[in-house]
Structure 1
Amino acid sequence: MANPEKILQPSPIAPGAQKKTRVRWFVVFMLFVVTAINYADRATLSIAGPEMSSQLGLDSVMMGYVFSAFAWSYVAGQIPGGWLLDRFGSKKVYFWSVFIWSVFTLLQGFIGFLGSAGTAIVALFALRFLVGLAEAPSFPANSRIVASWFPSHERGTAAATFNSAQYFATVLFAPIMGYIAYKLGWEYVFFFMGAVGIIVAFIWMKVIHSPKEHPRINEAELAYIEEGGALTNMDQAETKKEKKKGINWSQVKQLLTNRMLLGVYLGQYCITTLTYFFLTWFPVYLVQERGMTILEVGFVASLPAICGFVGGILGGTFSDFLLRKGFSLTVARKTPIVVGMLLSMTLVAANYVDTQWVVIFVMALAFFGKGFGALGWAVVADTSPKEMSGVSGGLFNTFGNIAGITTPIIIGYIIATTGSFNGALVFVGANALVAICSYLFLVGEIKRVELKS
């Protein structure tokens, strides 16, 4: 049976009617910019890591724990962050999120001045922990904003656009951060990214509004997105009474016992395992396993990221294309995910080649596949109950980012035990296979969850 949101296609505009504005695409552009900074801040430690670990005396296991510090708090903050979004709205919560995580990123640049290695390690772990806590509302906010601004047949493209910013962050910022670390020292990587984030936070506060309050949107665009299923009332005054309530744990339980959502959560955990390999250990892999310099890593790491960016845009576009061609929402979302994860599994082939350009090609193909299949946030926008869109996104991100805790630590132990990255690549590839199985055999039909009162 076709998804009801898919059926709500807007009618063509009659001759002489008002031409609709395209403010929604500016909104998704801002989500793209903020998400790029989000991921660049997460990756600062992987770029600064080789030089920093040498200065502070960190081995691979210790680095694994430091890499994971971000994810511990990021996971813990998902449900509270989602509740804050539902309570106070996306604009204000996102502003404070970006501002605070940028301040904590900047402060990491002072770690090297603490003198004692032990004190520096504790302070680094604490600051990474605080960055993760501050970033917790970011992706639930992205999904929430897309659900309120976009009709269902454009959500795949919109979600893929902001999600592909994680690759663009590497394309743009990895060479810059690599150059800064090479020329000025690893401390300045944190100073630079912290300052950029603070500036963007204030730009966000100035230009972002809800659909019904945006000064540049016209009636034609508002009607277009509403007819297509956009949830434009999420932050409006009529819902303030409901917003004052705390988290409804009975409704949270309904989300946690829904088979479709559990399959989506498991799939996201596995897909996020790939994300955190590339965010944390991939630059270290290029230095330690492939003998590259940190300056080379900054530029070489951007090549697979370009492929991930292209894959992300194509995956979302292809999904929406399938919807417009009459395929069900289930087929349109699952197909890119399964194909993308199959391509991601090719990274295991890097264990069997020695030529550097072949290794980069294999990683680029895996990056492309991960981007092509990264439609989880589109699925969240499609399935989240309108009463708990923030909490629903927070739950999804909680399960996904448990991988941010486990992946760096598991890979750290694999490297310490075996002395190479071979087992680590097999571990990451196996997670892509589990994601495929989850979407094929657990998720079932993709549809919006209706909560019982």
Structure 2
Amino acid sequence: MAITQHINTHSASAKSKSKFGVLALIFLSVVINYMDRTNISVAAQAISDDLEFSKVQMGIIFSAFAWTYSIMQIPGGMLVDSIRIRLLYPFILVAWSLATIVQGLLSSFSAIVGCRMAIGFFEAPSYPANNKIVTQWFAEQERAGAIAVYTSGQFIGLAFLMPVLALIQQWFGWRGLFFISGGIGIIWAGVWYLLYRDPAVQSESNTDNQDAITGDTPQKLHNDRQTTDPSQAQATASWRNLKIAFSSRKLWGIYIGQFCLGGTLIFFLTWFPTYLAEYRGLSELNTGFIASIPFLAAFCGVLLSGFLSDWLVRKGVSNEVARKAPIIVGLLLSSTVILANYVESTQWVTFFLSVTFFGNGLASINWVFVSLIAPKHMVGLVGGCFNFIGGLSAVTVPIAIGYLAKDGDFRPALILVACLALVGLCSYLFLVGKVEQIQLPPLDTSDGPLSDTQVIHQHPSSSGETK
């Protein structure tokens, strides 16, 4: 008996290490993902000076990534539901890394726009994939913490990478910056393929393995297998499910929130270095170091949010408080970006922008709502819709800021970012409502728009909520 207990304990420990190893892979992939989508912001001033691009043209270049990134979110989510992650992830890594390298060979405005579109196209499935991996590997009460860890990669990675990328550009020029960034991504694609395994492959020989990964009991897994309609699993990519994804007020609440949250994020990922260099008069190297401080603040925000949220769930606090509160507080803090318009010193500007990005980090666990609310077999699809709407902010906000700041005055741009944060706050307060999983309706009730009362029912065997 003691030997059996020891073996089970050792097995559970090994499996726990496996899932945290997977989390480390996602974290580093997010760092590389954001390096390749934001290196253009570090190079922006040099590109603009070298190729004589206007602010409006740079706004279009910043936006171009999001044109295809947004459009491909829903197809990307469907791909995530259909193709093994171990095969899909290395493919898209290599593809967007090659586009990053080619970017460094170009001098034409239209060609650079095309390359940015290619990077967005191939990065599109990455975040739905990240969310599905966490949904598969982590129990619901661990999920916000796991999402916080990998999401923090976009902040802590860029906090340290901003000065490094500035140094690389100083040594090798803006073209060399793209060559080195793309090369790192190709190497990482090989590492991912060698190290990652899908959880189904890990647990083929032992049902208990899935118990350790997700926290499900054998009886719960049995009930899920008995109550899941195979036709629903096979219909994930159907138009019927797409209609469900766009018919729920609850889902629209998190979609709008993601759009508004993205408005703050995209400012920091695109125009922020230019704001510091041109409007605040910092040197190129100082810009890299100062720009890293708000990213560190966001990193602290997202980790605090994720682990505090999971702790509250484990203590029995409702999802309405444990999951929503960090997002609402975070969006409120993000609106303080407007205060940077009323100070002159670099220290105060850095302070208010750091508070703003700390708030953005607090709210960045909003991906957890996809796995909490989405129908059981539509996590990838709803994640794609969620990121599609969020990605539209990356289409519109950079161009809007380009026009608002075309005369060199960034104050209207910061007002825009603050207003978006407040709209997002209202979306979570008034649209999301009670946090519970949407169940697929019977086929004969799928015609016509579906209200929340038609499609949302609490189902203990599949919702994964802690009671």
Choose from 398, 402, 427 the match for 2:416. Answer: 427
Distance across 1 between alignment mates of 2:20 and 2:169: 35
Choose from 440, 447, 459 the match for 1:451. Answer: 440
Distance across 1 between alignment mates of 2:197 and 2:436: 28
Distance across 2 between alignment mates of 1:95 and 1:395: 23
For residue 215 of structure 1, report the CA deviation from its aligned partner. Answer: 8.3
Q: Give the corresponding residue for 2:369.
A: 379
Q: Give the corresponding residue for 2:54.
A: 59
For residue 91 of structure 1, report the CA deviation from its aligned partner. Answer: 1.9
Choose from 114, 124, 135 the match for 1:126. Answer: 114
1:404 aligns with 2:394: yes
1:163 aligns with 2:151: yes
Distance across 1 between alignment mates of 2:111 and 2:217: 46
- Show CA shifts across 1:191-239 (max 9, x none): 11100000111111111112232389987663233444999999xxx99
1:207 aligns with 2:199: no
Q: Give the corresponding residue for 1:185.
A: 173
Identify which range, 204-213 or 391-400, moves more after superposition. 204-213
Counterparts of 1:112-151 in structure 2, within 5 Å, are 112=107, 120-151=108-139
Distance across 2 between alignment mates of 1:366 and 1:153: 28
CA contact (8 A) 1:264 1:443 kept: yes
In structure 2, the CA distance between the partners of 1:232 and 1:124, relative to structure 1 (3 Å rule), is farther
Distance across 2 between alignment mates of 1:277 and 1:56: 23
Distance across 1 between alignment mates of 2:348 and 2:45: 24
1:360 aligns with 2:355: no
Size of the aligned set, in residue pairs, is 430
CA contact (8 A) 2:203 2:210 kept: no
In structure 2, the CA distance between the partners of 1:162 and 1:217, relative to structure 1 (3 Å rule), is farther
Distance across 1 between alignment mates of 2:42 and 2:310: 35
Distance across 2 between alignment mates of 1:381 and 1:110: 41
Runs of 4+ with >4 A deviation? 13-17, 215-221, 228-234, 238-246
- Show CA shifts across 1:329-354 (max 9, x none): 22211000011111111211111111
For residue 247 of structure 1, report the CA deviation from its aligned partner. Answer: 2.5
Choose from 22, 35, 43 the match for 1:40. Answer: 35
Distance across 1 between alignment mates of 2:7 and 2:431: 49
Q: Give the corresponding residue for 1:172.
A: 160
For residue 58 of structure 1, report the CA deviation from its aligned partner. Answer: 0.9
1:332 aligns with 2:322: yes
For residue 16 of structure 1, report the CA deviation from its aligned partner. Answer: 7.7
CA contact (8 A) 1:61 1:409 kept: yes
1:285 aligns with 2:257: no
SS state at 1:354 partner:
coil
The TM-score normalised by the length of structure 2 is: 0.87
In structure 2, the CA distance between the partners of 1:168 and 1:253, relative to structure 1 (3 Å rule), is same
Choose from 72, 82, 86 the match for 1:87. Answer: 82
SS state at 2:282 partner:
coil
Choose from 258, 261, 270 the match for 2:260. Answer: 270
For residue 180 of structure 1, report the CA deviation from its aligned partner. Answer: 1.1
For residue 52 of structure 1, report the CA deviation from its aligned partner. Answer: 0.4
Choose from 278, 281, 287 the match for 1:297. Answer: 287
The TM-score normalised by the length of structure 1 is: 0.90
In structure 2, the CA distance between the partners of 1:141 and 1:413, relative to structure 1 (3 Å rule), is same
Q: Which amino acid aligns with 2:139?
A: P
CA contact (8 A) 1:170 1:301 kept: no
In structure 2, the CA distance between the partners of 1:124 and 1:404, relative to structure 1 (3 Å rule), is same
Distance across 2 between alignment mates of 1:26 and 1:156: 17
CA contact (8 A) 2:203 2:209 kept: no
1:24 aligns with 2:13: no
Distance across 2 between alignment mates of 1:354 and 1:271: 26
- Show CA shifts across 1:242-291 (max 9, x none): 88768211111112111110000000000001110000000110011111
Q: Give the corresponding residue for 1:440.
A: 429
In structure 2, the CA distance between the partners of 1:240 and 1:169, relative to structure 1 (3 Å rule), is farther
Distance across 2 between alignment mates of 1:229 and 1:363: 45
What fraction of aligned residue pairs are identical, expressed as a percent?
38
Q: Which amino acid aligns with 2:412?
A: G
Distance across 2 between alignment mates of 1:214 and 1:109: 40
1:250 aligns with 2:240: yes
Distance across 1 between alignment mates of 2:202 and 2:419: 45
Q: Which amino acid aligns with 1:206?
A: L
Q: Give the corresponding residue for 1:115.
A: none
In structure 2, the CA distance between the partners of 1:293 and 1:251, relative to structure 1 (3 Å rule), is same
SS state at 1:387 partner:
coil
Unaligned runs of 5+ in 2: 444-467
CA contact (8 A) 2:202 2:209 kept: no
Distance across 1 between alignment mates of 2:184 and 2:266: 23
Identify which range, 91-100 or 256-265, moves more after superposition. 91-100
Distance across 2 between alignment mates of 1:208 and 1:179: 32
Distance across 1 between alignment mates of 2:64 and 2:425: 28
Q: Which amino acid aligns with 2:252?
A: L
Q: Give the corresponding residue for 1:97.
A: 92
Distance across 2 between alignment mates of 1:79 and 1:434: 24
Q: Give the corresponding residue for 1:4.
A: none
Distance across 2 between alignment mates of 1:85 and 1:325: 33
CA contact (8 A) 2:72 2:121 kept: yes
SS state at 1:318 partner:
helix
CA contact (8 A) 2:236 2:377 kept: no
Q: Which amino acid aligns with 2:347?
A: W
Distance across 2 between alignment mates of 1:349 and 1:232: 51
Distance across 1 between alignment mates of 2:205 and 2:29: 21
CA RMSD of aligned residues (A): 2.5
1:349 aligns with 2:339: yes
